[in-house]
Amino acid sequence: MQRIGGAKWVAIAGIAVLVAAVAVLVFAALEHARPEAVSGEAEPVPTFTLGVQTPTPTPTPTPTQAAPSLEQTRMLGLGSEVWWRATAGSCAGPGPLIERSYDQGATWTDVTPTYRGIAQVQTLEAFSARDAEIVAAVAGCEPQALRTYTRGEFWDFYPDVLAASRYIEPSDPSSVHFPSGPVPAPCPAAFGLHAFGDVIALICDDRAWSWAGGEWVALAPENALALTIDGSDVLVAHRAEDCAGVAISRVAAGAPDVATAVGCAEGTDASSPVAIAARGDGAVVWMGDALVGIP
């Protein structure tokens, strides 16, 4: 038997070390090619974007037109000698404003009875050529009726007038006061109530409603903004496709589904608070700083 010399043993040992080193490198390469996630679950496949990446723009929301707040509600009353107008105000916010005009709206004078502590005006009516009455909330948002027989210089409380009045409760716009007791309004936030004789009407959810047969009945014009009573008819100011401004329609109390066009206040802003009053066969519209006669 031939013995292997020392030099050969050294060569064989070197080859063995080399083989072991190669095996270690191959194992490390395989492990590097399939790493495990820290959580023990497979990680998602990475994605790549070539070139310049432009961030996706955030969509800009379409602005919506806010409805005028109840404190901005306007009222207009026309006597043959004195005209009256008011902005409602709020028990919890800005106070009301009542003004008087001797020259058919060319100039106005502030006659708000702040000394009576009024906080919010519910109704305004010219009940004679030169006199007016209001239902207004005072301390605690309690309703009171006031009249002036001095063209707005002095105002006094009239409990008997309040008892006979129809108005929206200042502290609860979903309730309407009738002399016989409260009646639910047709929506949670009614405004713009007018009453004359047996005709009672208000605005609710962009629609004019009248009281008939013990219930509220929707009137024909949609997109209603304001209303007033003219005899047994209701005049409704509203938006309309064929009017670039505010349209006025007449609805007979006995025919709520029929609206007769009165006219259009061209160029007026239908998004602003509006008040109207009957005049002759037409109406006067108060919007912004302007009074517009129709027709």
The predicted-structure confidence for 143-160, as pLDDT tens digits, reads as follows 999 999 999 999 999 999
Contact 91, 171 (CB under 8 A): yes
pLDDT band, residue 7 (cuts 50/70/90): very low
Whether pTM exceeds 0.85: no
What DSSP element (H or E) covers 13? helix 6-33
pLDDT at residue 69 in the model: 66
Residue (of 116, 97, 119, 122) closest to 108 by Cα position: 97
> Residue 196 pLDDT > 90, yes or no?
yes
Percentage of residues in the chain having pLDDT higher than 70: 77
Residue 17 has pLDDT above 80, yes or no: no
Average pLDDT over residues 233-262: 95
CA distance 89 to 95: 5
CB 262 within 8 A of CB 283: yes
Q: Please determine, for residue 45, whether its predicted confidence score (pLDDT) is greater than 60.
A: no
Cα dihedral: 87, 286, 206, 179 (round 10): 50
Instruction: Tell me the chain's radius of gyration from C-alpha atoms.
Output: 39
Determine the average pLDDT of the residues in 13-27: 43
Cα separation of 253 and 234, whole Å? Answer: 7
Residue 4 pLDDT > 80: no
Tell me which residue of 192, 196, 172, 194 sits closest to 183, measured CA to CA.
Answer: 172
What's the confidence (pLDDT) of residue 269?
A: 86
65-74, 174-183, 265-274: which has the minimum mean pLDDT?
65-74
Cβ distance 71 to 89 under 8 Å?
Answer: yes
The 10s digit of each residue's pLDDT in 21-41 is 444 443 444 344 444 433 444
